[in-house]
Amino acid sequence: MADAALKEAARPSLWRDVRVLRAAGQVVFVVILVVIAREMYLNASFAIGSAGRELSYTYLDSRAGFAIKEHIVGYSANQPLYKAFLAGATNAMLVAAAGIVMATVLGVLIGVARLSPNWMVKKIALVYVEVFRNIPLLVQVIFWYVAVILAIPRIEDSVSIFGVAFVSNRGAAMPAIRSGADFGTWSLFVLAALLVAATVWRWRTRVHERTGGRHYRWLSSLAVMAVLAAAGYALLGDAFKVELPELIAHGYSGGLQISPEFAGILVALVVYTAAFIGEIVRGSILAVSKGQKEAAQALGLSPGQQLRLVVLPQAMRTAIPPINNQYLNLWKNTSLAFAVGFPDLINISTTMVNQAGHALETFSLVVGTYLGTSLLISFGMNVLNRAVTLRGGTA
């Protein structure tokens, strides 16, 4: 009994109980946030209402009316506004996807060049990094588009590369591979070829392990696959065909075409981001402890094997988080396309707002799209990171 009384006495009063205060504080915090959010919503709907409009997304179904010069979603001026928005979003994503691949390749090259034993190569890479990462991206975007791409010869004097590819300031056109009627069947063929090649790979590996002789597994499995795929192509007749671009009156027809605006923003993004990725690659290679390299050397691995089997896997582990960050930056930086008139998310949405109003709704969609895609990229890199960490952990 006395015990309970003591406990009762020891318990602090309600307004001094830390747990109560914490809960109350949080409730107050949340309530204040909700009140502010509600106030903002009411202000917006009042402002929009008093202008005789309403806060809703139904306007997205009305006819857009403006044309967009390049898109991958089959858009035309007669289609609804949401389709225009979609065209802008996919354009931005296309630039980002191409940019991520190319910036990674260039960045790794720069990073490795920074560590090259060759003094000249090392210094070129250093200058590259110091120049491009210290100049605002917007300056670079305008520079590539206005000073470089628009200065390429006009369409009349289009530069022809062996008659199969063309370059002018209306863009570049190159041969494209288009799927034919039998493409589906042929891809099954390729799938089968892949299986056979895998089997060959395993067989060669086993032979190598048993006899110690050279395995040639790359060579043999690739050869098997190539032969089978080619056989399938020959048998089916219409698996795919190469489409050559043609020079017509005011542009190109057919083939794979790249517009100057797309090229401008893409080149700028790649060159800029690669400078950062290069530094990450260099830093993470150097971060692999010296003992690891020495141990690999002691095992008698060749320099190439050392790099491939010991250094790079470990370097990759430390490089992925900051590289993910660069990918996110690249995605966000596609918004600078406004400077060159490439129809990206920002470009299309400002046009939409100007032609159809509804600024709040349209720009909230823009915010949502950027955020969603950022999360998606992060998620993908997270998956990659986990895979790499796992392998590194078992090694």
Bridge partners of 253, per DSSP, are: 246
- Closest distance between other proteins and the C-beta of residue 310, in Å? 14
* CB of residue 174 to other proteins, shortest distance in Å: 19
CB of 220 to other proteins, least distance (A): 28
CB of 4 to other proteins, least distance (A): 27
Q: Which of residues 305 and 364 has its CB atom nearest to other proteins in the complex?
A: 364
Give least dist CB 136 to other proteins, A: 4
The CA distance from 319 to 317, in Å, is 6
Can you read off the two tokens belonging to residue 247?
Answer: 């020079």
In this complex, which beta carbon is closest to other proteins, that of residue 161 or of residue 375?
375
Nearer CB in complex with other proteins: 205/364: 364
**Where in the chain does DSSP place strands (E)?**
159-161, 165-168, 171-174, 176-179, 240-243, 246-248, 251-253, 256-258
DSSP lists the bridge partners of residue 172 as 167, 258
To other proteins, the closest distance from the beta carbon of 99 in angstroms equals 14
Identity of the residue, 150 or 235, whose beta carbon is nearer to other proteins in the bound complex: 150
**Phi, psi dihedrals of residue 76, rounded to the nearest 5°:** -140, 165
Q: Distance between CA atoms of 242 and 129, rounded to whole angstroms? A: 38
- Least separation in angstroms between residue 51's CB and other proteins is 5
Both tokens of residue 127? 């200058």
Closest contact distance (angstroms) between CB of 86 and other proteins is 17
> Nearer Cβ to other proteins, position 159 or 227?
159
Task: Tell me whether residue 129 or residue 193 sits nearer to other proteins (CB atom).
Answer: 129
Contact 349, 362 (CB under 8 A): yes
Q: Which residue has the tokens 């960490």?
A: 389
Which of helix, strand or coil describes residue 352?
helix
Pick between residue 67 and residue 226 the one whose CB is nearest to other proteins: 67
Question: d(Cα 149, Cα 142) in Å, to the nearest integer?
Answer: 10
- Joined together, the tokens standing for residue 383 give 């998956």
* Phi/psi at 370 (5° precision): -60, -45
Tokens of 46: 């009042």
Using DSSP's 3-state secondary structure scheme, residue 240 falls into strand
When the beta carbons of 122 and 208 are compared against other proteins, the nearer one is 122
Cβ atoms of residues 284 and 318 within 8 Å: yes
Q: Which is nearer to other proteins, 86 or 328 (CB)?
A: 328
Report how far apart, in Å, the C-alpha atoms of 166 and of each of 19, 149, 266, 324 are. 72, 14, 19, 35
- The H or E element that residue 96 is part of is helix 81-114
Q: Minimum Å distance from CB 77 to other proteins?
A: 4
